Structure 1
Amino acid sequence: MEAYARPRVIVSKCLEFDACRYNGDVIYNDVIKKLMEYVDFVPVCPEVEIGLGTPRETIRIVKQGEDHLLLQPSTKRDVTKEMRLFSENYLAGVKETDGFILKTRSPSCGIKEVKVYASTEKGPAIGHASGVFGGKVTELFSHLAVEEEGRLNNFTIRDRFYTKLFTLASFRRLLPKGLDAVKDFHKKNYYLLMAYSKPTLKVMNRILKNVNENGEDKTVELYARALHKLFNRAARNDSNRSVAKEIFNRFESKLSVREVAFFKELLQKYANKKEPFSSITTLLKSHAIRFDDNEVLQQTFFAPYPEILLEISDSGKGRDY
């Protein structure tokens, strides 16, 4: 398989890049550190950008009526307007980007689970929301790969994020090459796209068939929209099994009764969450090598992102977010 495209990712600057956290610390993060070899990061700290400095007094989201304000309890300073203005201006200039990794629970960068308070006085949180910058990111760029660094400790979430990030980066890289490159992308990603959404894959097939009706530019535009829609959901257990069966059908007639039975046994174990899906993809890949099926071997379904990034560890203990 050819080299992976290098994604461009906007990241909270306090994560590995600069000691700009409110207390003057830098947050060391193994996921981001490992990604540095494969990703072009663009660090940003919204709180520093609006002049809060480092170190600085903490800020929090406070609910007043129907509004969420960004306030600094120690000074009673309201920085909501400055943060909103920075967020709008900064994100309006974002181009050629494939994803975001933002600081978990930050009142500026957090995507979800940011504590909301009733006032600037001491007291428990009364709810949760998005940070001001993080909320604007999800509003404008939900079609891209967007995550918080804390959630990336969960294997399932990390795997999904990497798959979307590197696939979108690959698609962005080929766009200047036109429709033929898009068709080649579709062919190599066919089983991966099927695993995420068979209905959306059918729509993408129709889009590519209707090029005479829509023209090349419109076809590429429609295809891009469908691709982004496809990644709005995760590949489910039943979808993965369906794709595995379809690939296996290419080899079944050449296999022994025991080999076929073994595959079906693995598939059932995966359905019952007793076996990782990697066991099935490894078996399918071995069949493709054995029978010299290059069409299957070129599929990104087997390795949608650099395999060195794959780790089985999961600090989330299997939680389904």
Structure 2
Amino acid sequence: MEGFPRPVLLVSRCLEFDNVRYNGQKVSSPIVRDLMQFADMKIVCPEVEIGLGVPRETLRIVRINGEHRLIQTKGGLDFTERMNSFAEKFLDELGEVDGFIFKGLSPSMGLGNVKVYGKAEMSPVVERSSGFFAGHVIDRYHGYPMEESERLLNVHIRHHFLTSLYAFADFRQIKNQGSMDLLMDFHRKNVFLFMSYSPLLLDKMSGLISGTESEKMVFDEYTSLLKEMLRKPGSEVLKIETAKKMLLTSGDKDNNEILFFDNMLRRFSENRISWDAVIEVLRMFSFRTLGEESHKDRFLYPYPEELKAPVDESRGKDYWDNEWNKE
């Protein structure tokens, strides 16, 4: 199977690594565990890095005179400047990175939906925001794959995140080499994937790499288009249309096979079969035509198979082990 790059991830240190949460615990994260053998991880706990102990009094984002401040609930100490200074210095020295997985709802690491209070204690929530450290990441790495660990429990969010992460990792290696030949190869193996996200942006990318601009301009503009392309998944209609187009390019098929596949797509649109079932059939047709070369296509193989979420985690459970069903 086509080899995949090793993505570089920045991960909240409390996710599977160390007991550094405010309560002295760490947090279970299935996707972080799964990625450990496939990615290079950089970890950080900003609250510990700015000198707060474990365990520690909780921090809150508090709106004071229209400005967000990072306040410790007991004692009212203000850590805003210290956190901002640490975040800037840390990100200046971070180096290459392809994506981010953070602890949700954290006043330092939450990417969104973090509570903002009117006062440090005994106050209602007045708005929602990103955490202080995460806010700096969002500003610097806008468009990069980033998610909260809790949201990645959802199979659809997990699939999109992994798809984007591996596309960014692959592109980073190509961009570092500055090779137009490698860029065109990257584009070819992502054509159907990008088609399922945005045909309009795909056309812009295709025109860009076939134009006469300088290599630097091409890579810079392609980077911007890639960020826009992978910001969120395409529609269900686009996925179905892309699957149809891929089928037509995968060699000769008789009418019965085409009708069978059309029926599969209809059942998928009615939510009666999964998208994975559609992809498996496409993989079969593609392999019949291209052999091992079919494994290069990122619409069919966007990331390592070992990272796919379990289809049915309770499949082995015996639901008939009960008193009324015993002999």
Partner residue in 2 for 1:208: 209
Give the TM-score, by structure 2 length: 0.90
Distance apart, 1:80 and its partner CA? 0.9
Whole-Å separation in 1 of the counterparts to 2:41 and 2:240:
35
What SS is found at the alignment partner of 1:300? coil
Distance apart, 1:28 and its partner CA? 2.5
Whole-Å separation in 2 of the counterparts to 1:297 and 1:5:
14
* Pair 1:188-2:189 in alignment: yes
The one-letter code of the counterpart of 1:299 is D
8 Å CA contact retained: 1:106, 1:114? yes
Whole-Å separation in 1 of the counterparts to 2:295 and 2:308:
19
Partner residue in 1 for 2:35: 35
The one-letter code of the counterpart of 1:175 is K
The Cα offsets for residues 270-291 of structure 1, whole Å up to 9 and x where unpaired, read as 2222221111111111112223
Q: What's the Cα RMSD here?
A: 1.8
8 Å CA contact retained: 1:101, 1:148? yes
* Pair 1:197-2:198 in alignment: yes
Structure 1 runs (4+) deviating above 4 angstroms are: 293-297, 312-315
Indicate the larger mover: 254-263 or 264-273: 254-263
Partner residue in 2 for 1:11: 11
Whole-Å separation in 1 of the counterparts to 2:30 and 2:293:
35
The structure-2 alpha-carbon separation of the partners of 1:240 and 1:68, relative to structure 1 and needing over 3 Å to count, comes to same
The Cα offsets for residues 249-287 of structure 1, whole Å up to 9 and x where unpaired, read as 1257x3333222111111112222222111111111111
User: Residues 93-112 of structure 1 correspond to what in structure 2 (within 5 A)?
Assistant: 93-112=93-112
Whole-Å separation in 2 of the counterparts to 1:202 and 1:25:
48
Whole-Å separation in 1 of the counterparts to 2:221 and 2:80:
37
The percentage of counterpart residues that share the same residue type is 35
Whole-Å separation in 1 of the counterparts to 2:74 and 2:176:
51
8 Å CA contact retained: 1:153, 1:314? no
Partner residue in 2 for 1:319: none
What SS is found at the alignment partner of 1:214? coil
What SS is found at the alignment partner of 2:61? strand
8 Å CA contact retained: 1:104, 1:150? yes
Partner residue in 1 for 2:319: none
What SS is found at the alignment partner of 1:291? helix
Partner residue in 1 for 2:296: 298
Partner residue in 1 for 2:284: 286
8 Å CA contact retained: 1:154, 1:314? no
Distance apart, 1:228 and its partner CA? 1.6
* Pair 1:80-2:80 in alignment: yes
The structure-2 alpha-carbon separation of the partners of 1:127 and 1:314, relative to structure 1 and needing over 3 Å to count, comes to farther
8 Å CA contact retained: 1:22, 1:57? yes
What SS is found at the alignment partner of 1:282? helix
Whole-Å separation in 1 of the counterparts to 2:181 and 2:95:
23
Q: Which runs of 5+ in 1 are unaligned?
A: 316-321
The structure-2 alpha-carbon separation of the partners of 1:293 and 1:29, relative to structure 1 and needing over 3 Å to count, comes to closer
The Cα offsets for residues 33-90 of structure 1, whole Å up to 9 and x where unpaired, read as 1110001110001101111121111111111231111101111101111111111221
Whole-Å separation in 1 of the counterparts to 2:232 and 2:29:
26
The one-letter code of the counterpart of 2:127 is G
What SS is found at the alignment partner of 2:51? coil
What SS is found at the alignment partner of 1:100? strand
Whole-Å separation in 2 of the counterparts to 1:243 and 1:295:
19
Indicate the larger mover: 13-22 or 119-128: 119-128
The Cα offsets for residues 200-236 of structure 1, whole Å up to 9 and x where unpaired, read as 11001111111xx312222222222211221112122
The one-letter code of the counterpart of 2:85 is L
Whole-Å separation in 2 of the counterparts to 1:158 and 1:109:
19
Distance apart, 1:293 and its partner CA? 5.8
The Cα offsets for residues 162-221 of structure 1, whole Å up to 9 and x where unpaired, read as 0000111011112233111111111111111111111111001111111xx312222222
Q: Which runs of 5+ in 2 are unaligned?
A: 314-327
Number of aligned positions between the proteins: 312
Whole-Å separation in 2 of the counterparts to 1:295 and 1:187:
12
What SS is found at the alignment partner of 2:299? helix
Partner residue in 2 for 1:235: 234
Whole-Å separation in 1 of the counterparts to 2:310 and 2:235:
18
Distance apart, 1:127 and its partner CA? 2.6
What SS is found at the alignment partner of 2:125? coil
